[in-house]
Structure 1
Amino acid sequence: MRRAVVTSAATAAGVVLLLSLKPHEAAGPAPVIGSGPGTGAGQGTAAGSGTDSGTGSEVSAPSNAPAPSASAPASASAPAPAPAPAAGATRKVSGDTVNTRYGPVQVQVTLAGSRITAVDVVKYPSAERRDREINTSALPVLNQEAIAAQSARIDVVSGATYTSDGYVRSLQSALDRAKG
């Protein structure tokens, strides 16, 4: 009898926790933007132990480096989005810089018409050796998933939760700007 009470209480607590989670998707349908060749290496979830660590300094990444995304509130001084280019035109759109626990994350999306052809990580945590280890494996996976999904609806990379969250939020802000 006691086991049944404990099990019921644990189940109820689990349901309450699940219902209290906020979805990390933007309101309304997520933008679906074309597909193209991936810039990252690897597939699936990056192997890594632990979580992101570091002091949070930022580094400019090479154009082929992956970047985590996170959405930061849009500032009032943000420039108005340019008119949408003709279908097939290639353009680059930068996402918001998202501050994570270990440093800022920002991505830049290359679009051909409405299709994502590349995602470049402009800023990512790299102050500590562990940050560099995590991001070397996580960013290519995030880039590949974003291109395959053609949206910001991608899975986080195990061991790089903060970087993944920042990447997704920055990517979503870039896609929102591209639609605008």
Structure 2
Amino acid sequence: MRRTLITTGTTVAGVVLLLSMKPHHQASSATPPPAPGPSASGTSGPETSGQGGDGTAPAANGTFKGQSVDTEYGPVQVEITMSNGRLTAVRVLSAPSEDGRDREISAFSLPKLTKQAIAAGSANIDTVSGATYTSEGYITSLQSALDSARA
């Protein structure tokens, strides 16, 4: 009887603690991008279409290279294409490819990351399960390219 009470009490306490935890809150893609930081090296210069009538910065056009990010399994670098200030394409310039497993992870994760990035129009995307290091390198390189485009 005593064991049953202790087990039940412990289980109830565990469930209460588990339910009291706040769920992971993901920011919506409608969140404005962060302020541009310093320009990454190796980026191409932006082509602009002039300043908007509302006094905003001109819309970026062209291709911009993100910084090469060293991950635990190799470097990741992307290049983006901007049209009228919108992200229209992402091309992976380098990704981990040391062995077959690295190439396999890159093959399944990079298309998913690219699809998310274009849909979001920003670097505010989720990492791909099983490709955390590659995803984080991709997101960092993508953000640096976006910062260059908005500089």
Q: TM-score, normalised by structure 2?
A: 0.67
Report Cα offsets for 1:17-47 as digits up to 9, x if no partner: x7xx9x9x9xxx5429xxxxxxxxxxxxxxx
CA distance in 2, matches of 1:80, 1:95: 7
Runs of 4+ in 1 over 6 A off after TM superposition: 13-16
- Which residue does the alignment assign to 2:33? 31
CA distance in 2, matches of 1:166, 1:15: 33
2:48 maps to which of 85, 100, 110: 85
Structure number with higher relative contact order (C-alpha < 8 Å, ≥ 6 residues apart): 1
Bigger share in helix:
2
- Which residue does the alignment assign to 1:122? 93
In structure 1, stretches of 5+ residues that fail to align are: 33-73
- Which residue does the alignment assign to 1:54? none
CA distance in 2, matches of 1:175, 1:103: 22
2:81 maps to which of 110, 113, 116: 110
CA RMSD of aligned residues (A): 3.7
In structure 2, stretches of 5+ residues that fail to align are: 51-58
CA distance in 2, matches of 1:89, 1:13: 46
Shift of 1:8: 3.9
Shift of 1:168: 0.9
| Structure with larger Rg | 2
CA distance in 2, matches of 1:96, 1:79: 7
